[in-house]
């Protein structure tokens, strides 16, 4: 009998986390206290004022109807006000902003809105795995956009071959970056917009960590660049900045043509988010951002502790300016997978092997700082006592 499942889904790359997940389960069954620094979702609660607004809106039966397809006006106006205040960028809430059921949903749906089968998409390597899998599911061809640590994980557009430049239809960027924690200043966005103009391609900037920054660094928006709206859209999310992962609320802003196309795809798939959630999210965006600062202070403290612990075992990483990740090289003699397994077996701590984020991630690992600080302290203690000297690890080929 032929398969009931499409060749495309059958061909989806195997989930690299599965080996580690199985090991985690086995260790937990043996009574090991496993600390998960793999998962990239905040442990901190959604701020109270947002929950209170949700409760209030839940009591109004007017809110139980379908939302408009592009989301409720209050939410889109709050996004516009946020862009004006944060970046001095003007946006028309009707044509340049669209509500999303989390930015991941929007990222997955915008690809078929922009490419045809066989079109090529430039994908950051290493990068957030959804860009790659969603491109593949949309029938696109993934082309690696190499991010070199020697260039602070910024693309070098002049090094892309002429054939790649001619073939590409779309390019993804993501700063502050997952998994690299790399940040950029406006010059990189300026180059990206110039590149897009020269080759007439679309640019998608994923700004999921746009507000998660340290040491007074302010992450820029690609829309601050003149002419960006001719080629680019930017995705934003309340998941990481307001600890709202499970609420599923985000937005996309920028180029009207792309936003209209995404809206067309989405209106055939969903009917936007539950109105009380959109209204509570508007409350968050209209706030004074004190809670965002408080969260960032918590991540900053965790970040410094973990960087010190890594230094103690000989792994030196420059302090990142954004995201809640540490991206670090594995000690010599290990592959990413081998090191992640060693840390799990000997310290009971889950880290993500870098190769889960693309071929160039090999040789690195990612630590997520999104566990309660006491748990992180415990993880720090265990990592400090890892012995990397005596283990003469022979890599198996």
Site residues for ligand PLP per CB under 6 A: 40, 102-104, 128, 174, 178, 206, 208, 237, 239, 245, 250
**Which one, 281 or 309, has the nearer CB to ligand PLP?**
281
**Which one, 174 or 272, has the nearer CB to ligand PLP?**
174
Minimum Å gap between C-beta 144 and ligand PLP is: 17
**Which one, 231 or 324, has the nearer CB to ligand PLP?**
324
- Tell me the C-alpha distance between 68 and 268, whole Å: 13
Minimum Å gap between C-beta 272 and ligand PLP is: 14
Minimum Å gap between C-beta 109 and ligand PLP is: 12
Minimum Å gap between C-beta 365 and ligand PLP is: 16
Q: Are strands 168-173 and 232-237 parallel, antiparallel or unpaired?
A: unpaired
- Tell me the C-alpha distance between 149 and 143, whole Å: 19
Instruction: Give all strands of the β-sheet with 120-125 in edge-to-edge order.
Output: 97-100, 250-254, 232-237, 202-206, 168-173, 120-125, 141-146
**Which one, 178 or 296, has the nearer CB to ligand PLP?**
178
Minimum Å gap between C-beta 237 and ligand PLP is: 3
Minimum Å gap between C-beta 389 and ligand PLP is: 34
Our measurement of the distance from residue 300's CA atom to the centroid of its chain's CA atoms, rounded to an integer in Å, reads: 18
CA geometry: angle 230, 93, 249, nearest 5 deg: 100
- Tell me the C-alpha distance between 378 and 305, whole Å: 11
**Which one, 133 or 245, has the nearer CB to ligand PLP?**
245
- Tell me the C-alpha distance between 377 and 58, whole Å: 39
**Which one, 109 or 229, has the nearer CB to ligand PLP?**
109
333: left (phi over 0), alpha (psi -120 to 50) or beta: left
């Amino acid at each position: 009998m032929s398969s009931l499942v499409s060749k495309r889904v059958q061909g989806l790359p195997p989930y690299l986390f599965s080996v580690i997940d199985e090991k985690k389960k086995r260790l937990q069954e043996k009574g090991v206290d496993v600390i998960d620094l793999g998962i990239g979702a905040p442990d901190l609660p959604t701020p109270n004022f947002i929950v209170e607004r949700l409760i209030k809106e839940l009591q109004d039966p007017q809110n139980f109807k379908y939302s408009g397809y592009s989301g409720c006006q209050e939410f889109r106006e709050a996004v516009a006000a946020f862009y004006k205040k944060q970046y001095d960028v003007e946006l028309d809430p009707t044509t340049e902003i669209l509500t999303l059921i989390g930015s991941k949903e929007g990222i997955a749906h915008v690809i078929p809105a922009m490419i045809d089968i066989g079109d090529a998409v430039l994908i950051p390597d290493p990068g957030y795995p959804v860009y790659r899998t969603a491109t593949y599911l949309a029938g696109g061809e993934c082309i690696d956009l190499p991010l070199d640590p020697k260039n602070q994980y910024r693309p070098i557009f002049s090094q892309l071959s002429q054939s790649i430049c001619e073939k590409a239809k779309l390019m993804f960027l993501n700063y502050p970056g997952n998994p690299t924690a790399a940040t950029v200043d406006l010059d990189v966005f300026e180059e990206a917009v110039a590149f897009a103009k020269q080759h007439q391609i679309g640019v998608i900037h994923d700004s999921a960590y746009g507000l998660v920054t340290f040491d007074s660094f302010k992450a820029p928006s690609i829309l601050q660049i003149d002419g960006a709206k001719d080629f680019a859209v930017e995705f934003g999310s309340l998941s990481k900045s307001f600890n709202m992962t499970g609420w599923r609320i985000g937005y996309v802003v920028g180029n009207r043509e792309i936003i209209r196309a995404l809206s067309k795809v989405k209106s055939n798939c969903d009917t936007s988010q539950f109105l009380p959630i959109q209204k509570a999210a508007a409350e968050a965006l209209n706030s004074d951002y004190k809670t965002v600062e408080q969260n960032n202070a918590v991540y900053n403290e965790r970040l410094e502790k973990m960087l010190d612990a890594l230094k103690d075992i000989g792994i030196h990483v420059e302090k990142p300016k954004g995201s809640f990740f540490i991206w670090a090289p594995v000690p010599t003699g290990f592959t990413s997978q081998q090191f992640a397994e060693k840390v799990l077996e000997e310290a009971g701590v889950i880290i993500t092997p870098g190769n889960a984020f693309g071929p160039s991630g090999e040789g690195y690992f990612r630590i997520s700082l999104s566990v309660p600080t006491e748990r992180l302290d415990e993880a720090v203690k265990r990592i400090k006592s890892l012995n990397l000297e005596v283990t003469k690890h022979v890599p198996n080929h």
